Amino acid sequence: MRFRTKTILGIAAIEMALLAVLVGSALQILRDSNEEELTRRVTLGGKLLAAAAKDAVLSQDLATLNALVREAMASGQIDYLRILDSQGRVLAERGKGAFPTAPFKEDQSIADVTDGCFDRSTPILVRDIHHGEVRLGVSISPLNQLIITARQWAAGIAALEMALVALFSWLLGTYLARQLVALCGASTRIAAGDFTSRIPVQGSDELADTALAFNRMAEQLGESRQRVETESRQRLDALREAEEARSRAEEGAEQLKAIFDLSPDGFVSFDAERRVKYISPAFVRLTGLEAESTLGLDEAAFSQCLAAACTAATRFAGVAALRRPRKAERGEPGATHERRQQIEIGGPGQRVLEIGLREAQAATVSQILYLRDITHEAEVDRLKSDFLSTAAHELRTPMASIYGFTELMLTRDFEEAERREFLGTIFKQSELMVSIINELLDLARIEARRGKDFNIARLDLRELVHEIAGGFKPPDERPSPEEPPADGPLWVRGDRKKLTQAIGNVLSNAYKYSPAGGMVGIEFLAPDGDAALLGIRVRDQGIGMTEEQLARVFERFYRADASGKIQGTGLGMSIVKEIIELHGGHVELDSKVGAGTTVTIWLQAQATSAESAAMANTATGAPS
Amino acid sequence: MKRILIVDDQSVIRWLIRLALRDHFATDEADGAQAAWATIKKQRPDGIVLDVLMPGSMNGFQFCERVKRDPDLAAIDVVLVTACGDENDRERGRAAGANGYFVKPLSPIALVNHFLASLDVEARQAPGAGPHKST
């Protein structure tokens, strides 16, 4: 049931009840008072008439009685009047209309009236002796008419009031209901999240106050919701930012991990307390130290651990020794240079490592130790250094002879024969020095250019070797090398000058290392089957070499003859090897002590197809 | 006459040193550590001229140490001759107990003067030029 209906019904019910009581009681009072008045009038009238008629009754003066009746009736207020004597005989009577026919019955009250006339009898007493009676009747219809009229008026007024109250309560109910509906709608909208919803404020009554209060509440709700929303948005933003930062950090960490994992350099990171926090796979590989045994160690223990893995000569001096000097100590020049140390890891996989320290500013990483594998560089450096000192040594030896003999000749007197001998030695040692310098330069050039300066062309190996052999001057007037009988050309691709130098060196060695003489022979080895290689073999019957000597022939400055009787630089075979290998070929050695040595140079054969012929035409300097 | 052992794998150097020393000392020669040790055992020299870089398993430093460790031989005056003149090698020579250290090209006259002084030999014949020691 709607509020408005309830209001109307409630008010109507109350109003109806009140009106019913009011109208009922008013009518009752009206009736009661009228009845009382009628009763009193009838009683009084009866008594007055009885008193007036008493003498006439006693005297039986009928004329007076009739006059009295007439006069009494003239008032118009009595319906009928009858005066009776003590025997009940009618002495005088008069009535407006017909007399009641029914036997007289006195009415004590209006309620007793059955015939529309209030009947009353008043005795005429003299000294309490009954002498007659006066009977009169008064119509009650005016009284009833009055009651009816009053009732009609009351009903009309009640109906009007009911209508007015209904109208008012309807208006009030409508107004209230409308405000409540507005409140309800606004509440629903707020509940749905629309905090801009407001109730229109009309007037200044309690509803207006309620609406105002509601609007204030809505406003505050809106504000607090906005605040909550702003806060939650800010919180969300912060969360998102944190999430982004975390993912960025994760990404970075992932990347770093991949870098550390893939890097050939080893890394060790230390936490804020300078304890080992991370060890890269490369570190494990380089040092042989396991992560399990090193993680969590403090700096000193870690240093000891690493030092124990080093060879005695290059023991790790400790992480602390790598640390840069503090700011206060940086006054001295060069103090800020990064300190590095070279260590050598012992054991089977001997490595040379360069170790450095990077101090970090991060909260969780105090410093990072990095290790670079410089085994190869160190080896190259060592070889270079060895080569240089060997070269210096080799140069100092002839220089020692030249210097020494010259000084002796300048400071002492010798016989002419000795002097000539010294001069011969000085001359030979000078020649050796020149050879060493030339061959060193040759070797350096060949190594530096890696064949880029080779003038490659198609060559007939047979013709080339014949030319070399023809131009070769054997020592001590020994016979020229024996060549195989002439045959068809053997095509190879190569640099004429360089191949001449290589083959010349081999021939020269063959003579040098067969000081007792003997044949030096040359032969050609044709490609065997599909092998695209051509061989030139130089054989001597000289002193030969042991297995150990044979293995070292290609070492720089290595000389199979330690006696110093055979002149040489120890670089000839190195040059041969470099030249032949840069031509895509290789050198084979075979030797027996006392039986002589065989050197075979293998070179890539040039195919004799149409294609190669076409190439040969374009090649410069190729013999036709 | 005091004896000097010349140890060098190169005959031309041995010849040069022998020539330089022949007026004042008797000389023996060896072309390597092994031969030198055999010679020392046969006849104890008063001085040794020792090439540092020799073929074989033992170099001059090691040979020098071996001589100096031997109580019977420690008094022998050992002069190292080398082609390497850097400070590390000099230090190694000192550590090995060498009495002298000559870098090639060495002055034969300075070498003679060293032995004349250390072995307290009176020069029978003054050298033509003033003694000058190699550095």
**A435-459 confidence digits (pLDDT tens):** 888 888 888 888 887 877 888 888 8
**Residue A220 domain-assigned (yes or no):** no
Question: Same domain for A282 and A386?
Answer: no
Tell me which chain B residues have a C-beta less than 8 angstroms from the C-beta of A405: 16
C-alpha distance from A475 to closest chain B C-alpha (Å):
21
- Interchain pair A400, B16: CB under 8 A: yes
**A490-500 confidence digits (pLDDT tens):** 888 888 888 88
Q: Could you give the C-alpha distances from A102 to A98, A99, A114, A597, in angstroms and in order?
A: 11, 9, 11, 191
User: Which pLDDT band, with edges at 50, 70 and 90, does A33 fall under?
Assistant: confident
Return the SS3 of A524. strand
**A134-180 confidence digits (pLDDT tens):** 888 888 888 888 888 888 898 888 889 888 888 888 888 788 778 77
Look up tokens 């529309």; give the residue: A116
Residue of B nearest to A391 (CA): B83
- pLDDT reported for residue B109: 93
Question: Same domain for A366 and A381?
Answer: no
Cα separation, A240 vs A175, whole angstroms: 51
- Interchain pair A397, B84: CB under 8 A: no
- pLDDT reported for residue A564: 59
Tokens at residue A596, please? 């002589």
**Count of domains observed in chain B:** 1
Q: Which sign does the torsion angle of CA A170, A171, A174, A179 carry?
A: negative
> How confident is the model over A42-54, as a mean pLDDT?
87
**Count of domains observed in chain A:** 4
**Residue A624 domain-assigned (yes or no):** no
**Residue A219 domain-assigned (yes or no):** no
- Interchain pair B106, A403: CB under 8 A: yes
User: Which pLDDT band, with edges at 50, 70 and 90, does A27 fall under?
Assistant: confident
Tokens at residue B133, please? 């020691």
Torsion of CA A209, A215, A217, A220, to 10 degrees: -140
Question: Same domain for A556 and A437?
Answer: no
Tokens at residue A525, please? 């080895």
- Interchain pair B31, A562: CB under 8 A: yes
Question: Same domain for A13 and A131?
Answer: yes
**Residue B131 domain-assigned (yes or no):** no
C-alpha distance from A308 to closest chain B C-alpha (Å):
26
C-alpha distance from B41 to closest chain A C-alpha (Å):
23
User: What share of chain A has pLDDT > 90, as a percent?
Assistant: 7
Look up tokens 């009752």; give the residue: A28
User: Cβ distance A13 to A174 under 8 Å?
Assistant: no
Q: Is B19 an interface residue toward A (CB < 8 Å)?
A: yes
The closest of A588, A555, A561 to A573, measured between CA atoms, is: A555
**Residue A140 domain-assigned (yes or no):** yes
Q: Is B106 an interface residue toward A (CB < 8 Å)?
A: yes
| Last residue within a domain, chosen from A163, A179, A202 | A163
User: What share of chain A has pLDDT > 70, as a percent?
Assistant: 92
Tell me which chain A residues have a C-beta less than 8 angstroms from the C-beta of B84: 389, 392-393
Domain interval for residue A105: 3-163
- Interchain pair A411, B109: CB under 8 A: yes
User: Which pLDDT band, with edges at 50, 70 and 90, does B132 fall under?
Assistant: very low
Cα separation, B132 vs A598, whole angstroms: 50
**Residue A172 domain-assigned (yes or no):** no
Write phi, then psi, for A103 (nearest 5 degrees). -60, 140
Residue of B nearest to A394 (CA): B83
Cα separation, A507 vs A484, whole angstroms: 15
User: Cβ distance A121 to A105 under 8 Å?
Assistant: no
Tokens at residue B45, please? 């020299």
- Interchain pair B10, A397: CB under 8 A: yes
**Residue A557 domain-assigned (yes or no):** yes
Domain interval for residue B9: 3-118
Question: Same domain for A518 and A589?
Answer: yes
For A248, the enclosing helix (H) or strand (E) is: helix A206-262
Q: What is the CATH number of the domain that holds B43?
A: 3.40.50.2300
Q: What is the CATH number of the domain that holds A270?
A: 3.30.450.20
| Last residue within a domain, chosen from A449, A465, A497 | A449
Spatial CB neighbours of A347, under 8 Å, sequence gap ≥ 6: A288, A309
Residue of B nearest to A393 (CA): B83
pLDDT at B135 over 60: no
Question: Same domain for A497 and A388?
Answer: no
Tell me which chain A residues have a C-beta less than 8 angstroms from the C-beta of B127: 411-412
pTM over 0.90: no
pLDDT at A534 over 50: yes
Cα separation, A117 vs A143, whole angstroms: 11
pLDDT at A620 over 50: no
The closest of A106, A65, A59, A58 to A82, measured between CA atoms, is: A65
Q: What is the CATH number of the domain that holds A496?
A: 3.30.565.10
pLDDT at A331 over 60: no
Cα separation, A502 vs A538, whole angstroms: 12
Q: Is B11 an interface residue toward A (CB < 8 Å)?
A: yes
**A373-419 confidence digits (pLDDT tens):** 888 888 788 778 777 777 777 788 889 999 999 999 999 999 999 99
- Interchain pair B84, A400: CB under 8 A: no
User: Which pLDDT band, with edges at 50, 70 and 90, does A420 fall under?
Assistant: very high
Question: Same domain for A582 and A464?
Answer: yes
Question: Same domain for A321 and A412?
Answer: no
Strand partners, B81: B51, B102
- pLDDT reported for residue B107: 92
Residue of B nearest to A562 (CA): B9
Burial of A550 (0-12, 13-18, 19+ CB in 10 A): middle
- Interchain pair A397, B55: CB under 8 A: no
Tell me which chain A residues have a C-beta less than 8 angstroms from the C-beta of B130: none
Return the SS3 of A275. strand
Residue of B nearest to A409 (CA): B128
**A244-290 confidence digits (pLDDT tens):** 999 998 998 888 888 888 888 888 888 888 889 888 888 888 888 88
Partner-chain residue, chosen from B11, B12, B129, that has the shortest CB–CB distance to A411 = B129
Tell me which chain B residues have a C-beta less than 8 angstroms from the C-beta of A394: 83
**Residue B64 domain-assigned (yes or no):** yes
pLDDT at B26 over 90: yes
Question: Same domain for A528 and A600?
Answer: yes
User: Which pLDDT band, with edges at 50, 70 and 90, does A59 fall under?
Assistant: confident
The full length of chain B comes to 135
User: Which pLDDT band, with edges at 50, 70 and 90, does B28 fall under?
Assistant: very high
**Residue A285 domain-assigned (yes or no):** yes
Pairing relationship of beta strands B100-103 and B77-82 according to DSSP bridges: parallel
Q: Could you give the C-alpha distances from A4 to A177, A214, A245, B39, in angstroms and in order?
A: 6, 22, 62, 143
Q: Which letter does DSSP use for residue A99 in this model?
A: P
Burial of A144 (0-12, 13-18, 19+ CB in 10 A): middle
**A537-573 confidence digits (pLDDT tens):** 888 888 888 888 888 888 877 777 766 567 777 888 8
In total, the C-beta contacts within 8 angstroms joining chain A to chain B are 74
Highest mean predicted confidence (pLDDT) among A76-90, A562-576, B35-49: B35-49
Q: What is the CATH number of the domain that holds A434?
A: 1.10.287.130
Tokens at residue A406, please? 């010259």
Tokens at residue A364, please? 């969780």
CA atoms within 13 A on the CB side of A334: 0
User: Which pLDDT band, with edges at 50, 70 and 90, does A487 fall under?
Assistant: confident
Tokens at residue A239, please? 């969360």
Partner-chain residue, chosen from A397, A408, A425, that has the shortest CB–CB distance to B20 = A408
Partner-chain residue, chosen from A389, A400, A562, that has the shortest CB–CB distance to B105 = A400
- Interchain pair A403, B105: CB under 8 A: yes
Tell me which chain A residues have a C-beta less than 8 angstroms from the C-beta of B10: 397, 564
Return the SS3 of B97. coil
- Cis amide prior to B105 (ω within 30 degrees): yes
**Residue B61 domain-assigned (yes or no):** yes
**Residue A582 domain-assigned (yes or no):** yes
| Last residue within a domain, chosen from A163, A195, A212 | A163
**Residue B133 domain-assigned (yes or no):** no
Partner-chain residue, chosen from A392, A401, A563, that has the shortest CB–CB distance to B16 = A401
Q: Could you give the C-alpha distances from B130 to A411, B21, B109, B115, B126, in angstroms and in order?
A: 9, 16, 9, 15, 9
Question: Same domain for A141 and A26?
Answer: yes
Mutate to test the interface with A, among B9, B10, B12, B57 (most CBs of A within 10 A): B12
**B78-121 confidence digits (pLDDT tens):** 999 887 777 788 888 888 889 999 988 889 999 999 999 988 87
Residue of B nearest to A385 (CA): B84
Tell me which chain A residues have a C-beta less than 8 angstroms from the C-beta of B128: 410-413
Mean pLDDT score across all residues of chain A: 82
User: Which pLDDT band, with edges at 50, 70 and 90, does B69 fall under?
Assistant: very high
User: Cβ distance A597 to A510 under 8 Å?
Assistant: yes
**B51-67 confidence digits (pLDDT tens):** 887 777 788 899 999 99
Question: Same domain for A267 and A367?
Answer: yes
Round to the nearest angstrom and report the end-to-end CA distance of chain B: 28
- pLDDT reported for residue A121: 87
Return the SS3 of A118. strand
User: Cβ distance A420 to A427 under 8 Å?
Assistant: no
- Interchain pair A413, B128: CB under 8 A: yes
**Residue B106 domain-assigned (yes or no):** yes
